[in-house]
Chain A
Amino acid sequence: MMRTIEILIVIIIITGAFIIASFYAVLPWPRQVSPVNLRRLAFTTLQVLDSNYDLSRAAFETDNYTMWGGLQVALSASLPPNVIYNLTVYEVSGGTTQLYARVVSISNAESLGAASDASSYLVASSNVTFNVTPEKIGEHGGGGTLYILNCSDANGWWITGYTAQSLAEDLYKLLSPYFTATIMVQNTTQLGQLLNGTKISNSPYESVTNAVIINTFGESVPIPQIYCQGYALQAEGYASSVSYPYTRYCYTLGNKTRYYNWTWASIVGYPLYYVSNTVVFANQNNTYGIYGMQKVYQGGINAFLQGLDRQPFAYNDGGITKSSNTQVNLLPNIIYYCNYYGIYPSSSQTSTRALSTSILSTGSNGYNLTLGLDMFSRFDSNYIPGAVYRHVFRGGTDVTGSFLALGLTRSPDIRLTALGILSYYQPRLYRSEYTTNGTSRLVVLQLGLVGGV
């Protein structure tokens, strides 16, 4: 009998344990098991209310009772009937004591029940404007003039799908905020004036020296009539003794680039492969049906570099580019400037006319060039797809002319030219101070559930 009594005692103990365990092991309410995500619901409700900026307007017009009445109706109408809310707008203050100060609050219940959750949403005043003021190139020194070749009497090549004039217009929009003066060179006569050191506008900020000249004509370069055969400066533009006589003009361009300390920019392909003047060469074409052009061939870039380095003109049409195709990528420092200036060309490009690193040599084959800015990964380790070359005479320190060459395939992406110029000169951007103090308000929507378990 004792054992049966013992067992009964054991049963009583286990029953007690079960009761105690059941008492403490409380299972959650169904509402807690499968809760409506009130935080997300609150956030998405705020977004819907602000989809047409009505919430932002209301947050800054707390005295507009019509607007707030509409907001309250919209809030009630958009939430399920068993959801109650409290919407509070806080001023974001700049003080050190209290960051948020309550401005106004609306609610459809005295309390938010046992379970509630909230989301916040920052709205900005419509009166706030955000400005960025760029530093002007040349603002604190010489130069600062951008010349964009927009010559109406010349034709371009390898700018397929564009015209030089449309590219010039785009460049003007991209770069003019960064220069003290941006001047369109409207015809080859004006280009001739520039080569002669003469200003071509009435702008007090125009400076021929230390200027940047962008050739928007691709592989072609406009040539003033005066440098053509039979005209006054023929000796500087035409050499009858060589295979491509207008190679001499490219030598002059290099010479002037050094003399005036220009930065000459070639936007695509093989630099200085043709010269163009639609009046003088009206009956000559580039063998592809584009009239107004004369071929210079590969000697053009060699002659330019000779002129840049003040070497005597010696005709040489040997190629100095890698003319096969490969994909090259923007270097990390250039990608940084993409973000800084907000210019986003594709980070991978096709190189077809990368210049040989041999031009950097300081020996007899070189031109005293250094890399002012390297833009792309190398092609076959010895070819530079895009860079700004800086000319400094041996033993000197002063820069005497620079040359931006983008040896990429057609059609040109003009943003790369702009990026190259800006990354080289690095003008700073002064962003207007924008603080949340007085310009932003925090809207907090707290939701609670009523009814049910």
Chain B
Amino acid sequence: MEHRERVNLTASTIDHLVAVTVFLAATLLFIGLFNQTIQTAVIYQRHRAIATKASDLLDTMLLSPGIPVNWGQTDSNLTGFGLQDPEFTQYRISPYSLMRLRSSVGEPVYYNATGQYYSNVTMGDRNFMLVPYNLALDYSYVTRLLGINNTYGFQLTLTPVVSVSIQETQFANSSATFNVTAAGVGFPLSYTTISYCFLKVDSSGPDSPSYDISFGTVNADDTGSVSINIDNVAADDSYAFIAYARLSGLVGMGYHERTNDHEQYVVPFIDSFEEGRVLLAHSYNVHVDETETEATVFYTATYVLLTEDFILREMPIITEKEHVVYGYGTNQTFGNLTIPTHNPGILVIPYKTTGTNRDGVVLMPWGISSLAFPVVFGGDPQKQEWVATDIRQVIVGGIAYQAKLALWSLEGYQVNG
């Protein structure tokens, strides 16, 4: 009898122990499961908050001109960030404010003669936009102006909606044929009207280097392409071909150059937005180690404006040739010029080297839309836990761009369990 009671007591205890153990294990398991569901929901909510913030922040950037309103045309520092063109309303963006954003993708260029680093946007072979770091806005400074430092990171990208590609397809009998194709983000720009400008460098005339310029307007076919034939082009001629495509409010542009300069050319550095001052350096002083022999590049300069009817208008700046000489150490020289207007346009610098009949042409946009340069500004969205994006269609100096903002949180959270 005593033995049976002891057995019953032991079975009851084991039953208790098993039940409690299973219960505790199940409780812990379910806490984990419910917790995971709740945390996932919280994360989703946070992601949605980031998406909302991205939309708001993009509008904040695009619908405010900043303080001072014309900061893009001055050398002054700003106290409020915004990119809207102060002369317009809604989503029209200042082409000058965009120039003052430090590029996130271009390798910075150091110029010994000024002792400064330059934000670098270089498109093609000879199209430069080099802005000194002391004038180019720093990403961290902009996050402070926007009040999101240490809470959000962003990358702002502005890309032309219309891309105009130009290829030299044929060269025969002293004439060149170019194939110009215009396309939008998701569709070719069928039957678009294309205005073009052909600048051929003249390095043999008494006023050389100068250029001959010709204009034309053609219509593309249903694929957005058209062939354009230009006469009187020799095999070793240097030229720049600039084309604008427009259709129902969409305007885009493209360019193509041919040079034979053997890496000796003029590099334009923006020195002052307020005064429109540009420094002109010898390319050896920028890109080559100090091992080259003495070299000189002669140049002239013209400013080309795009009028409202999409005709390019010339404004000569330097008509009698000047020169820059490659030098060593502090013995470097640079020229300078002043762009006399704050209407967006293209600085055209034809140049030639001494003796060898090598020449070419350098283009620099004054107002980033003049050459439809893209803009990438801000941090790197790679490896971020969640990146929300939003897009707007904007007008920059008459050219259609798509503005995209990628935004992520810096406050660090992750899914547990």
Residue of B with least CB distance to A82: B186
**B185-211 to A contact mask, C-beta < 8 Å, 1/0:** 111111110000000000000000000
Q: Which of A28, A36, A48, A50 has the most chain B CB atoms inside 10 A of its CB? A: A48
Question: Closest approach, in angstroms, between the C-beta of A8 and any C-beta of chain B?
Answer: 7
Please give, as numbers and ranges, the residues of chain A lying within 8 Å of B287 by CB-CB distance. none
Cα(A32)–Cα(B415), bound, Å: 20
Cα(A4)–Cα(B26), bound, Å: 12
A435 at the interface (CB under 8 A from B): no
Asked whether, in the complex, the Cβ of B393 is within 8 Å of the Cβ of A45, the reply is yes
With an 8 Å Cβ cutoff, the count of chain A residues facing the other chain is 50
A55 at the interface (CB under 8 A from B): yes
Asked whether, in the complex, the Cβ of A51 is within 8 Å of the Cβ of B41, the reply is no
Please give, as numbers and ranges, the residues of chain B lying within 8 Å of A2 by CB-CB distance. 15
Interface residues in A60-76 by Cβ distance below 8 A to B read: 67, 69-71, 73-76
B19 at the interface (CB under 8 A from A): yes
B278 at the interface (CB under 8 A from A): no
Asked whether, in the complex, the Cβ of A48 is within 8 Å of the Cβ of B18, the reply is no
Cα(A33)–Cα(B40), bound, Å: 12
Asked whether, in the complex, the Cβ of B185 is within 8 Å of the Cβ of A48, the reply is no
Cα(A303)–Cα(B36), bound, Å: 94
| A18/B161 contact (C-beta < 8 A), A7-B19, A27-B40 known | no
Q: Which of A1, A11, A71, A78 has the most chain B CB atoms inside 10 A of its CB? A: A78
Residue of A with least CB distance to B25: A11
A58 at the interface (CB under 8 A from B): yes
Please give, as numbers and ranges, the residues of chain A lying within 8 Å of B44 by CB-CB distance. 27-28, 33
Please give, as numbers and ranges, the residues of chain B lying within 8 Å of A47 by CB-CB distance. 90-91, 393, 395
**A160-188 to B contact mask, C-beta < 8 Å, 1/0:** 00000000000000000000000000000
Question: Closest approach, in angstroms, between the C-beta of B54 and any C-beta of chain A?
Answer: 8
Please give, as numbers and ranges, the residues of chain A lying within 8 Å of B47 by CB-CB distance. 33-34
| A78/B161 contact (C-beta < 8 A), A3-B16, A34-B51, A47-B393 known | yes
Question: Closest approach, in angstroms, between the C-beta of B43 and any C-beta of chain A?
Answer: 9
Interface residues in B385-415 by Cβ distance below 8 A to A read: 386, 388-395, 398, 400, 402
Cα(A443)–Cα(B41), bound, Å: 39
B30 at the interface (CB under 8 A from A): yes
Asked whether, in the complex, the Cβ of A11 is within 8 Å of the Cβ of B22, the reply is yes
Question: Closest approach, in angstroms, between the C-beta of A68 and any C-beta of chain B?
Answer: 9
Residue of A with least CB distance to B248: A74
Asked whether, in the complex, the Cβ of B186 is within 8 Å of the Cβ of A76, the reply is yes
Residue of B with least CB distance to A14: B30
Question: Closest approach, in angstroms, between the C-beta of B1 and any C-beta of chain A?
Answer: 22
Please give, as numbers and ranges, the residues of chain A lying within 8 Å of B184 by CB-CB distance. 74, 76-78
Asked whether, in the complex, the Cβ of B185 is within 8 Å of the Cβ of A74, the reply is no
Please give, as numbers and ranges, the residues of chain B lying within 8 Å of A371 by CB-CB distance. none
Question: Closest approach, in angstroms, between the C-beta of A126 and any C-beta of chain B?
Answer: 15
Question: Closest approach, in angstroms, between the C-beta of B214 and any C-beta of chain A?
Answer: 25
Asked whether, in the complex, the Cβ of A77 is within 8 Å of the Cβ of B22, the reply is no
Please give, as numbers and ranges, the residues of chain B lying within 8 Å of A34 by CB-CB distance. 47-48, 50-51, 386, 388-389
Asked whether, in the complex, the Cβ of A81 is within 8 Å of the Cβ of B394, the reply is no
Question: Closest approach, in angstroms, between the C-beta of B22 and any C-beta of chain A?
Answer: 5
A380 at the interface (CB under 8 A from B): no
Asked whether, in the complex, the Cβ of A73 is within 8 Å of the Cβ of B15, the reply is no
Cα(A15)–Cα(B202), bound, Å: 84
Cα(A32)–Cα(B388), bound, Å: 12
Cα(A41)–Cα(B19), bound, Å: 60
B141 at the interface (CB under 8 A from A): no
Cα(A96)–Cα(B385), bound, Å: 55
Asked whether, in the complex, the Cβ of A77 is within 8 Å of the Cβ of B188, the reply is yes
Please give, as numbers and ranges, the residues of chain B lying within 8 Å of A73 by CB-CB distance. 187-192, 247-248
B23 at the interface (CB under 8 A from A): yes
Question: Closest approach, in angstroms, between the C-beta of A131 and any C-beta of chain B?
Answer: 24
B70 at the interface (CB under 8 A from A): no
A35 at the interface (CB under 8 A from B): yes
Asked whether, in the complex, the Cβ of A8 is within 8 Å of the Cβ of B22, the reply is yes
Please give, as numbers and ranges, the residues of chain B lying within 8 Å of A74 by CB-CB distance. 184, 189, 247-250
Q: Name 6 interchain pairs, CB-CB below 8 A, sorted by A.
A: A4-B15, A28-B48, A34-B386, A44-B91, A73-B192, A78-B250
Q: A44-B392, A47-B90, A70-B248 are in contact. List 11 more A-B contacts (CB 8 A).
A: A10-B23, A10-B26, A44-B394, A47-B395, A54-B249, A73-B191, A74-B248, A76-B187, A77-B183, A77-B186, A78-B393
